A and B are shown apart, each in its own frame.
Chain A
Amino acid sequence: MSGYGLRHVARMERIKLGSVRSTWWLAIAAVVSMAAAGVGVGLGYRSHTPVATAAQILNNSLGGAILAQLLLGSLGVLVITGEYGTPMIRSTLAAVPRRRIVLAAKVAVCGGAALAVGLLASFAGYLGGQLAIRGTAIPAASLGDPSILRPVVLTGVYLGVTALIGLGIGAIVRHSGAAIGTLFGLMFVPMIVAGLFGEDGIAVGRFVPLLMLLNSIAVTSPIPGLFPGWVSVLLMGGYAAVAIVAGGLLLRHRDA
């Protein structure tokens, strides 16, 4: 086929993503925040009685994902709002007038990068926790154990998907501050709302990102009433798809 395609546009997006400092700061901060949370949790449990279980250590040492999701979500937002903040978007859309390809390339490149960073961050959280409990009576958690490996991997995937939700919101809102505010709101407000339902809260709560993360994805065994971890992650992927499709429709029809 003659003419440009996803391959060319993805190369453009890769150069763009790697050539601004905010990308690197956000990625490093995501990994460091998870590693630090893991170490903090491990140190805190060292002299704790009764002796913590392997599951306790693992569940808590992935808690840095609460912060990391906001950092990687912001990374996704900035991939698109960073262009609308300046007329850069016009340079991009003049070079690639087929806007769906631009969005698809951003999804592929940003999603891939965020997935890699998310997995790295998640393993850093796990590792931080394990290193901090060495030499204590607390049992080590081995990645050879599927119930340990699963939450670590799913948390990494969850973080990658969060960036895509950010990307979709960025395409809809177009303004960095407003889009990041919207993202944070969507991450935290539903959790508060779910709390208002009292006893029935869990029926609503199992659809809420942060509750899914803390009770279904980043835990060795999900709390009863919540979906299995992989279903929760798929649900997150569904949210990301809705945001991106909505953003894509708007991107196609709006003047740049």
Chain B
Amino acid sequence: MVSGLSAGAGLPSVEEVIELRELSKRYGGRVAVDGLSVRVRPGVVTGFLGPNGSGKSTTMRMILGLDAPDHGEALVGGVAYTQSDWPLKTVGALLDAGAFHPGRSARAHLAALAASNDIPGSRVDEVLGIVGLSGVAGRRAGTYSLGMRQRLGVAVALLGDPAVLLLDEPVNGLDPEGIRWIRELLRGLAAEGRTVFVSSHLIAEMALTADRLVVIGRGRLLAETTVAELAGGGDSLEDAFFRLTSQATDYRGSEMS
């Protein structure tokens, strides 16, 4: 078992999926997410694709209740995440690679979060082992490389042995070996029956990791499809992605996103 997680425990029932209903969010005058309705199924890796600024991160923050939607709702297993009894045991999330205090060790960071959800301390050592940080767990996390920070973020996501995983650009900053590691970890987690929802702007990487794809642009749903379908149009996967998102890309050419 690639994840080192207990199979059977926390296996999701069919309805234990992420469901977005007419989700909308604007910041000031700018629309970030616009009437997004999506269902994410268990047992497969679902890629969440879109150009930079298309609303992927905002959507993920709304699923976790970090940002409040202006309209619509995000449900996990039929209930809002903010109502979970044990949030970390419900959804494991990696949102930002730097979501820790730089002066705190990885072990203390994990121990603190584990305590909040009554997760035993032994689980901290387990997830440190899974992500390969056991040897440096006592070091201040601020001294970590970007790849190690991503691994610490993955460790947090796995902490509660959750049935649903939510990862925002998890391969950012990872070397080719790390990218392959993430890919196999995610596929293994999905194979155990978990719901894995992973965002990326890298179509080629998603083609290797994901089975299903949710493609958005300017906060709107452009396609719910599979990798096979998207590539089946005759042209390359990348061309198909560009065709899909061509009307919904905010930033081009010399403009910075």
Give A residues with C-beta under 8 Å from B.
Answer: 2-4, 8-9, 11-13, 15-16, 19-22, 82-83, 86-88, 90-98, 253, 255-256
Minimum Cβ distance to chain A for residue B204 (Å): 27
C-alpha spacing A9/B102, complex, angstroms: 21
Residues of B within 8 A of A95 (CB): 87-88, 113, 116-117
Task: Please determine whether A94 and B100 come into contact, CB atoms closer than 8 angstroms.
Answer: no
Minimum Cβ distance to chain A for residue B21 (Å): 19
Task: Please determine whether A16 and B101 come into contact, CB atoms closer than 8 angstroms.
Answer: yes
3 pairs of A and B residues whose beta carbons are closest in the complex:
A3-B85, A19-B108, A12-B116
C-alpha spacing A87/B81, complex, angstroms: 19
Task: Please determine whether B101 and A83 come into contact, CB atoms closer than 8 angstroms.
Answer: yes
Residues of A within 8 A of B99 (CB): 86-88, 90-91
Task: Please determine whether A20 and B93 come into contact, CB atoms closer than 8 angstroms.
Answer: no
Task: Please determine whether A15 and B65 come into contact, CB atoms closer than 8 angstroms.
Answer: no
Minimum Cβ distance to chain A for residue B89 (Å): 10
C-alpha spacing A191/B84, complex, angstroms: 48
A-B pairs under 8 A by CB, number = 101
Q: From B95, B100, B115, give the contact of A8 (CB < 8 A).
A: B115
Q: Size class of B's contact patch?
A: 35 or more
Task: Please determine whether B66 and A90 come into contact, CB atoms closer than 8 angstroms.
Answer: yes
Task: Please determine whether B116 and A20 come into contact, CB atoms closer than 8 angstroms.
Answer: no
Task: Please determine whether B105 and A19 come into contact, CB atoms closer than 8 angstroms.
Answer: yes
C-alpha spacing A16/B105, complex, angstroms: 10
Not counting A86-B99, A86-B100, A92-B116, a sample of 13 additional A-B residue pairs whose C-beta atoms are within 8 angstroms of each other reads A8-B115, A15-B111, A21-B103, A22-B103, A82-B101, A83-B101, A91-B109, A91-B113, A94-B95, A95-B87, A96-B87, A96-B116, A97-B81
Task: Please determine whether B112 and A4 come into contact, CB atoms closer than 8 angstroms.
Answer: no
Residues of B within 8 A of A13 (CB): 112
Residues of B within 8 A of A9 (CB): 116
B66-107 residues with Cβ-Cβ distance < 8 A to A are 66-68, 81-88, 91, 93, 95-96, 98-105
Residues of A within 8 A of B81 (CB): 97
Residues of A within 8 A of B116 (CB): 4, 8-9, 11-12, 92, 95-96
Task: Please determine whether A19 and B64 come into contact, CB atoms closer than 8 angstroms.
Answer: no
C-alpha spacing A15/B86, complex, angstroms: 19
Task: Please determine whether A97 and B87 come into contact, CB atoms closer than 8 angstroms.
Answer: yes
C-alpha spacing A91/B67, complex, angstroms: 13
Task: Please determine whether A19 and B104 come into contact, CB atoms closer than 8 angstroms.
Answer: yes
Residues of A within 8 A of B86 (CB): 3-4
Chain B residue with minimal CB distance to A82? B101
Task: Please determine whether B104 and A97 come into contact, CB atoms closer than 8 angstroms.
Answer: no
Known: A87-B95, A90-B99, A94-B64. A4 touches B104 (CB 8 A): no
Task: Please determine whether B95 and A90 come into contact, CB atoms closer than 8 angstroms.
Answer: yes
Residues of A within 8 A of B108 (CB): 15-16, 19
Q: From A12, A19, A93, A97, give the contact of B84 (CB < 8 A).
A: A97
Residues of B within 8 A of A94 (CB): 64-66, 87-88, 91, 93, 95
Task: Please determine whether B118 and A16 come into contact, CB atoms closer than 8 angstroms.
Answer: no
Q: Can you list 23 residue pairs at the A/B interface with Cβ under 8 Å?
A: A3-B84, A3-B86, A4-B117, A4-B118, A8-B116, A12-B112, A15-B112, A15-B115, A21-B103, A87-B98, A88-B99, A88-B101, A90-B95, A90-B96, A91-B99, A94-B64, A94-B88, A96-B87, A97-B83, A97-B87, A255-B61, A255-B68, A256-B61
C-alpha spacing A22/B104, complex, angstroms: 10
C-alpha spacing A255/B58, complex, angstroms: 10
Residues of A within 8 A of B87 (CB): 4, 94-97
Residues of A within 8 A of B113 (CB): 12, 91-92, 95
- Taken residue by residue from 104 to 140, chain B's Cβ proximity to chain A (1 for < 8 Å, 0 otherwise) reads as 1100110111011110000000000000000000000
The answer, yes or no, to whether B156 is at the interface (CB within 8 Å) is yes
Residues of A within 8 A of B88 (CB): 94-95
C-alpha spacing A91/B91, complex, angstroms: 12
C-alpha spacing A96/B104, complex, angstroms: 19
Residues of B within 8 A of A19 (CB): 104-105, 108-109, 112
Residues of B within 8 A of A83 (CB): 101
Residues of A within 8 A of B115 (CB): 8, 11-12, 15
Task: Please determine whether A20 and B101 come into contact, CB atoms closer than 8 angstroms.
Answer: yes
Chain B residue with minimal CB distance to A22? B103
C-alpha spacing A92/B98, complex, angstroms: 13
Chain B residue with minimal CB distance to A12? B116
Chain A residue with minimal CB distance to B118? A8
Residues of A within 8 A of B95 (CB): 87, 90, 94
